[in-house]
Structure 1
Amino acid sequence: MNGVVIPIITPDSFDFRAYMAESEPKAKVLGADTWRNALIESVRSGDKITGARLPWPSTYDNLRFRSGEVTLWQGINGHGKSQLLGQACIGFANQGEPVCLASFEMKPVSTLKRMLRQVAMNDRPTEKVVNSLMDWAKGRFWLYDQLGTVKPEMIYAVIRYCADKLKIKHIVIDSLMKCVRGEDDYNGQKDFVDMLTGLARDLEVHIHLVHHVRKGENEEKVPGKFDSKGSGAIADQVDQVLTVWRNKKKERAIEVMLRQQMQIDDETRKKPDALLICDKNRHGEWEGSTALWYHPQSLQYIGDKRCVPTNMVGL
């Protein structure tokens, strides 16, 4: 990707001091008439579901991502939650809702390489696709570049900067444990997530928070919202809880078949490679799971057992 630039936000490239200070106090006691237009719009919309969509049509009528909310993306380490969320973010950006991805566990170029394969639909993208992706990303996609631990006040400043100056609508924080002192710092976790929910509401952005769950004795067991590492207040405070789970049992079965030079039977093949589970949906009635199949060459998750990758951005 030499010579090709995608917007990178670093602690040194911008003066965040102004954004670290608390904003001017706003009057919180307002006349009911303040919400007249919002209430009229809610009546006009009726039960119509609104917000940014995920890449899988089966989720369109069940799960959306609206401004002013926080979604917790959780999963066992190595189950693909960051990769799946990255694919979702490509979809958000392509719907005209700009994204900033702040990964404290992965260098920007590694994130972009993964993103490149997802839009190229294969594992050998050309330089032409690189340039097309970079052109597409202008005004749609930003990366915050800082590895390791980060102080909550910096996250506060970055989110405010992204919303104010860049008009970003989706902000990914990957992951929670890089922003608090430890798994047993329950007050720190509660305060941090409380800060995120307040920022999302006040700035009208959607914040996606990545978090790990306890591995447990059996990785084949699908974790729930109460399996998050740390404080139970994390799931309580957010608007949506999504769990990403890989079907390790299927992976092991296929590995045995291949080792024994056996044909993979249809029953095994049609089982999903992963599940995206909605364990909490504060502003919607639906809770359930979506079956996904994994295409390793493109790093895409597909909502169809035929497992054909999709052209996500029309490159």
Structure 2
Amino acid sequence: MRPAEIAQLLARNADAVAKHLLPNGKREGNEWRCGSVSGEAGKSLGVHLHGDKAGIWSDFSTGESGDLLDLWREVKNISMPEAMAEAAEWLGVNPEGKKPHFARQQKVYKKPTTKPADALPGSPAWQYLTQERKLSEATLKAFRVGQTPKSVLFPCYNPAGELVMTKFRHVAGKKFGVTEADMRPALFGWQAVPPEARTVAICEGEIDAMSFAEYQIPALSVPFGGGTGAKQDWIEHEFDSLERFDLIYVAMDMDDVGRQATAEIIDRLGRHRCRVVELPHKDANDCLRAGVSLADMQELLAKAKTLDPTELRNAGEYVDGVIAAFNPNQAEIGFATPWSKCATLHFRPGELTILAGVNGHGKSEGVGHITLDAIAHGIRACVASMEFKPQRWLQRLVRQASCVDRPADAYVAKIMQWLGNGLWVFDVSTSAKCQRMLDVFAYARQRYGINLFIIDNLSKLDIDPDDYNKQRDFVDKLTDFAKDHDVHIILVAHLRKGNNDEQPGGKFDVLGGGAITNLADTVLIWWRNRKKEEKLKQGNLDDIEVKQLEKQPDALCLCEKQRNGEDEPRIALWFHKASHQFLGAPGAAPRKYVHYLTTGQPSADLAGIDAEVF
């Protein structure tokens, strides 16, 4: 809940709030009057109680003014986050209760081992920042800049004042980075943000954050520069702290990676409160060194705009995609299947895939394998599996990751640690409400940067199986969600029951009506070769017959539609029982996604390709 939302709720109860905060005041007409924020009797401070200005206050002796949340902070002499928490409690609202909570094993980060020594006047670091970068002594002290004989040190504190990360930059040359491994990604500059601030700028470099401070603008710097994906992992950790700001100016560098970062930051922190700052130079420090005045910078912020609607794009932005279309051998965005023999089926951002099959044909297991492989390639996934409790389908995923039917406890723990970096769970094992699911997905995308969502399956949503219009509307919302947030969604569905399941179905057999497959970008049919399984169970087969049967695939993944691909491949797959993986050829080795040798485990079960080594 943002400060403006809490202030709006307080304004609805302005009379009660004024009496609570300033009990020694008294009512005069439409205002509550007292001497100052200290609460003594008098008339200098007035609070509007009704009308359009309800909740607005001014202290005419000091010039201070604001809304009731500002007044709460001033009267209590506390920080903005503390005021937000106290006011919400007084109002009887619980902002934390509305947030979805995801069960996952989070990565353990290390704290910096030493606190940076303060930069000293006259040192190389001090001279570099004050003379070359034009930063003032007051700014260096406010940001607690440190030093080594060769470098500037930038300490990253959290809002509570704890040191969580330290970065360095060599005075000579452009070498920079973090001082130690495995520190939590953190914004730089919390130590200099005023406690009353409800507006902040987010920029691309520590020196830029300090340059904005020279312009009297509270600023925070991202830890890993421009770009998307893992570069913006800091959002997950800073999401709650940034809720205190009503307005966020996004002022990344004026280059391609800066613009990419701007788009992701705004999508995840909220278009409603983010504004894009167009600077006349590459970054804020270049503006400072070029002599851009305080008045000019304030005018630039006043002119900052929301990001253009996603539907409105300049044709020139598509140059990379058009070039890629003429060069199909180039690496495509998104992720591929786990099967190297299939290079033409791709799961792209902004698309919806429907994967359908008959009950018991292994479609959930197949989707699990696809998801696992995507995670191994850096994709962040959120799975909504309403047919199974999380422990059950995670057990299957652990088996697929280890290639072992019954991995040791220590091995399971390592795999869960690995999954915790890239997998989130929508924990509903009964029917799920469609709108609630989309709300949680939006939160997951914004906070954690999820770029793959799995819904297993359509029949477990709060939609009547015969209500084709509602099913179509939900799938339509999924396609919009995928495009708006630039993510991929896989929706698992059932096929209509036929006379038997000896032959694969098609896209016209998907339950829910033809509209949902028409709306989808890709349609996959998953089929299990039960006839082969039944024949192999017979005890009268000779070796030749067994070998002939084993050449037949155990499953087929049939692409019935791929709107943005040039092929609709037919993928034959063989099931590996120990790992529950689907392989591209008979006798192929499964891929071991997490390598962890323990005593007593057969080496045969561990055959495969390593994805991660601990």
Out of 561, 564, 568, which is 1:287 matched to? 568
Q: Distance in 2 between matches of 1:23 and 1:77?
A: 42
Residue 163 (1) aligns with residue 262 (2) = no
Distance 1:173 1:29, change over 3 A: closer
Aligned partner of 1:297 in structure 2 is 578
Residue 190 (1) aligns with residue 472 (2) = yes
Out of 337, 343, 349, which is 1:54 matched to? 337
Aligned partner of 1:246 in structure 2 is 528
- 1:265 Cα deviation from its structure 2 partner: 2.4
| Alignment check: 8 A CA contact 1:244 1:277 kept | yes
Aligned partner of 1:272 in structure 2 is 553
Residue 106 (1) aligns with residue 388 (2) = yes
Q: Distance in 1 between matches of 2:488 and 2:336?
A: 13
* Letter matched to residue 336 of structure 2: R
| Alignment check: 8 A CA contact 1:181 1:188 kept | yes
Distance 1:255 1:136, change over 3 A: same
Aligned partner of 1:36 in structure 2 is 316
Query: Could you say what secondary structure the match of 2:578 adopts?
Result: coil
Q: Distance in 2 between matches of 1:58 and 1:23?
A: 41
| Alignment check: 8 A CA contact 2:434 2:474 kept | yes
More off after superposition, 40-49 vs 167-176 = 40-49
- 1:44 Cα deviation from its structure 2 partner: 3.4
Query: 1:1-315 alignment to 2 at 5 Å?
Result: 6=105, 28=309, 33=314, 35-37=315-317, 39-45=318-324, 46-48=326-328, 50=332, 51-59=334-342, 61-256=343-538, 259-260=539-540, 262-263=542-543, 264-312=545-593, 313-315=611-613
Aligned partner of 2:254 in structure 1 is none
Q: Distance in 1 between matches of 2:311 and 2:507?
A: 35
Q: Distance in 1 between matches of 2:393 and 2:316?
A: 43
Gaps of 5+ in 2: 1-102, 107-239, 244-269, 273-305, 594-610
Q: Distance in 2 between matches of 1:32 and 1:73?
A: 31
**C-alpha RMSD over aligned residues:** 2.4
- 1:5 Cα deviation from its structure 2 partner: 5.3
Deviations 1:242-286 (A, max 9, x none): 111001110111012xx3375452211110000010000000111
Q: Distance in 2 between matches of 1:185 and 1:191?
A: 10
Query: Could you say what secondary structure the match of 2:407 adopts?
Result: coil
Q: Distance in 1 between matches of 2:441 and 2:528?
A: 31
For this pair of structures, how many residues does the alignment match?
Answer: 295
Percent identity over the alignment?
Answer: 36
Distance 1:266 1:55, change over 3 A: same
Query: Could you say what secondary structure the match of 1:268 adopts?
Result: helix
Query: Could you say what secondary structure the match of 1:163 adopts?
Result: helix
Query: Could you say what secondary structure the match of 1:190 adopts?
Result: helix
- 1:66 Cα deviation from its structure 2 partner: 1.0
Q: Distance in 2 between matches of 1:193 and 1:289?
A: 25
Q: Distance in 2 between matches of 1:117 and 1:137?
A: 12
Query: Could you say what secondary structure the match of 2:585 adopts?
Result: coil
| Alignment check: 8 A CA contact 1:120 1:298 kept | yes
* Letter matched to residue 232 of structure 1: G
More off after superposition, 203-212 vs 305-314 = 305-314
Q: Normalising to structure 1: TM-score of the pair?
A: 0.87
Higher radius of gyration, 1 or 2: 2
Q: Distance in 2 between matches of 1:119 and 1:102?
A: 19
Q: Distance in 1 between matches of 2:479 and 2:494?
A: 19
More off after superposition, 176-185 vs 116-125 = 176-185
Query: Could you say what secondary structure the match of 1:124 adopts?
Result: coil
Deviations 1:161-182 (A, max 9, x none): 1111110110001111112422
